[in-house]
């Protein structure tokens, strides 16, 4: 039986995503084929086993060998067994899918030339696991932090990185993925298969199911009744990334226009001085860099500017622990920073943008917490009371966490941020890994700050890019050194190429290396500086004069000067990324030359 429909083109009003045109449905009894906009969706009814092809031959997928959808309990999700075609209207095609034990779901697929958009609504009163899946494909890339783990352990006795732990993600297989130890954060679950002409992402801020193996490509939600945004993108990498950009902008995870200065060379206080920061030490350190010829464009004072609660008592605030975090908006330590406005102006007069560290946790008895509790601006317990958390920082202090899904709470928070009177922020929430929280807990906040004109360096971010830079999770000299390059490339593959790899050598926190600074550390610092210089942004920390080696000093300075020369290029490529989603500022070779048969599986063997 053949159904043929003619529909006029329509474009969603707030996006470039278009679903339209003539479509044809061919029901052959055991299979259904739907053709629309040059894409064919083929479904084997037994098991709802689906696959895609396109008229230019670039899309190469195969159906899963058992079922295209699994749903049911997280412990034992059931395979789809039967498929009933219900209807097609405009761009949407609707099916009822059932398991052998009678659990059913309505599957709606919006089909276009570059996107199959799945909506899966299970007939259940309780959250269940729901997964969409097709046959395996290689090579695959992306997932940002998810496979670029904190340590990236190698095979014992070799330099080989295990499957699923490098830039090529085949072998990744997880059932409950979210921000937790050892991942610390979940930035993206976007995965791309450039030689097969497709990519996949399930936009889900809670726990996710992600599998990229030789047997199956699967993405889903671990605890839900309704998947609303499972996307299969089609075409060349440029087509795929553009469609992904359109979907992110449409679905509330926008890529926002970045500002120029953050793409230059910066200075970070934590890497340079640790906790030993005050107006004198910061000025001396930054001035020494400038005297040596470093072209500094921005600086971050990340910690310790609030009334001191860690090392000694503040003279002004006797109850100082309640002020000991970044959300003590407008309260500076009166001894360390007696003239905050003059201090900030000192660096602005040197042509630098001035940034502070920023988090969304509020000490329970902090200066603004009572107002936040009264107005319902914090995450709450089931009884409606403000929920208390204990994160790694502030240390030993119970905190409330801003409810970023509450627009009034976000507006209140942004208005408080203005009390700092700075140019922007290094968003730096961490230490929450013992709690099950949304992965997009900072997206609305960073987006609102960007709209107010603030510069943002993001640590926590999911899918979108409401920031100038996406910072890698702390990458220090004493960590596995494969993790940095893998993490940076994986983040670019995941459609987030505005990568900032952390300061040269990492966050030393004011520590020394060894009494003489070993030759091994010196060599590492030079190589690390050269590597950082070729990223969209870089920063210095511990002064190179501490290493007592002229070659080290020259090499690090040369790297900073090189980056400054490349700054206009990086920014122009960032603007291209903003417009079309392609990872221009940091494009991995297997994306740029996806048709080259020899380009894959090389990064992990250098």
**Inter-residue contact 115 to 123 (CB < 8 Å):** no
Average pLDDT, the chain: 89
Query: Residue 467 — pLDDT band, cuts 50, 70, 90?
Result: very high
d(CA 447, CA 454): 10
- SS3 of 450, please? helix
Secondary element (H or E) of residue 220: strand 216-224
Given a cut of 80, whether residue 318 has pLDDT beyond it is: no
DSSP conformational letter for 157: T
DSSP 36-80: ETTEEEEEETTTTEEEEEETTS-----B-SS-SEEEE-SSSEEEE
Determine the pLDDT at residue 1: 44
Across the range 510-524, mean pLDDT stands at 70
Its pTM surpasses 0.75? yes
Query: Residue 234 — pLDDT band, cuts 50, 70, 90?
Result: very high
Question: What is the tens place of the pLDDT at every residue in 272-296?
Answer: 998 889 999 999 999 999 999 999 9
d(CA 301, CA 270): 7
Residue 31: strand pairing partners: 44
Pick the closest to residue 443 from 465, 428, 472 (CA basis).
465
Across the range 543-561, mean pLDDT stands at 95
Across the range 316-343, mean pLDDT stands at 84
User: Can you tell me which residue has the tokens 């960032």?
Assistant: 574
DSSP conformational letter for 539: E
- Give percent of the chain above pLDDT 90: 74
* Domains in the chain with CATH codes: 2-250 (2.70.98), 262-605 (3.20.20.80)
**Inter-residue contact 136 to 51 (CB < 8 Å):** no
Neighbours of 29 (CB within 10 A): 7
d(CA 336, CA 485): 37
Structure tokens, 478: 């004493």
Structure tokens, 409: 């709470």
Question: What is the tens place of the pLDDT at every residue in 372-412?
Answer: 999 999 999 999 999 999 998 887 789 999 999 999 999 99
**Inter-residue contact 276 to 295 (CB < 8 Å):** no
Compute CA distances 321 → 16, 155, 367, 378, 389, whole Å: 50, 46, 11, 20, 16
């Amino acid at each position: 039986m053949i159904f043929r429909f003619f529909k006029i083109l329509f474009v969603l009003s707030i996006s470039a995503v278009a679903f339209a045109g003539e479509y044809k449905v061919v029901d052959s009894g055991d299979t259904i084929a739907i053709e629309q906009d040059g894409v064919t969706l083929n479904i084997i009814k037994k098991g709802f086993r689906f696959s895609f092809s396109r008229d230019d031959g670039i899309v190469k997928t195969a159906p899963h060998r058992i079922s295209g959808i699994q749903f049911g309990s997280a412990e034992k999700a059931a395979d789809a067994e039967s498929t009933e075609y219900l209807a097609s209207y405009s761009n949407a095609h609707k099916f009822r899918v059932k398991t052998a034990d009678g659990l059913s779901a309505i599957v709606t697929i919006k089909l276009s030339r570059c996107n199959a958009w799945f909506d899966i609504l299970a007939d259940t009163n309780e959250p269940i696991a729901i997964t969409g899946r097709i046959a395996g494909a290689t090579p695959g890339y992306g997932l940002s932090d998810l496979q670029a783990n904190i340590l990236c352990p190698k095979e014992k006795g070799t330099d080989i990185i295990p499957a699923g732990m490098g830039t090529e993600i085949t072998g990744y297989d997880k059932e409950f993925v979210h921000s937790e130890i050892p991942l610390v954060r979940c930035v993206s679950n976007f995965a791309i298969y450039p030689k097969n002409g497709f990519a996949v992402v399930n936009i889900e801020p809670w726990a996710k199911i992600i599998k990229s193996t030789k047997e199956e490509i699967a993405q889903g939600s671990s605890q839900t009744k309704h998947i609303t945004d499972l996307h299969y993108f089609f075409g060349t990498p440029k087509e795929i990334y553009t469609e992904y950009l359109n979907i992110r902008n449409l679905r509330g995870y926008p890529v926002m226009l970045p500002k120029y200065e953050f793409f230059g060379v910066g200075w970070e206080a934590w890497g340079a001085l640790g906790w030993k920061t005050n107006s004198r030490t910061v000025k001396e350190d930054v001035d020494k860099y400038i005297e040596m010829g470093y072209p500094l464009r921005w600086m971050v004072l990340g910690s310790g500017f609030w009334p001191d609660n860690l090392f000694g008592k503040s003279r002004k605030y006797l109850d100082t622990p309640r002020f000991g975090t970044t959300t003590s908006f407008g309260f500076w330590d009166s001894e360390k920073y007696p003239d905050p406005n003059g201090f900030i102006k000192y660096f602005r007069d040197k042509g630098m943008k001035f940034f502070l560290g920023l988090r969304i946790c509020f000490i329970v008895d902090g200066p603004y917490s009572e107002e936040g509790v009264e107005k319902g601006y914090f995450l709450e317990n089931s009884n409606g009371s403000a929920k208390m958390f204990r994160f790694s920082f502030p240390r030993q202090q119970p905190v409330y966490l801003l409810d970023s899904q509450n627009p009034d709470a976000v507006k209140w928070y942004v208005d408080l941020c203005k009390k700092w009177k700075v140019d922007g922020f290094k968003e730096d929430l961490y230490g929450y890994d013992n709690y099950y929280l949304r992965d997009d807990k900072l997206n609305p906040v960073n987006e609102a700050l960007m709209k107010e004109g603030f510069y943002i360096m993001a640590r926590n971010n999911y899918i979108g890019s409401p920031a100038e830079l996406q910072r890698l999770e702390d990458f220090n000299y004493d960590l596995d050194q494969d993790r940095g390059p893998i993490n940076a490339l994986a983040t670019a593959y995941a459609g987030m190429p505005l990568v900032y790899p952390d300061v040269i050598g990492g966050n030393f926190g004011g520590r020394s290396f060894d009494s003489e600074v070993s030759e091994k550390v010196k060599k590492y610092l030079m190589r690390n500086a050269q590597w950082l210089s070729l990223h969209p942004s870089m920063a210095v920390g511990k002064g190179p004069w501490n290493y007592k080696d002229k070659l080290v000093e020259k090499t690090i300075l040369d790297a900073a000067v090189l980056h400054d020369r490349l700054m206009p290029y990086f920014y122009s490529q960032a603007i291209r990324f903003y417009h079309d989603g392609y990872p221009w500022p940091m494009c991995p070779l297997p994306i740029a030359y996806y048709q080259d048969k020899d380009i894959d599986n090389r990064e992990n063997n250098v």
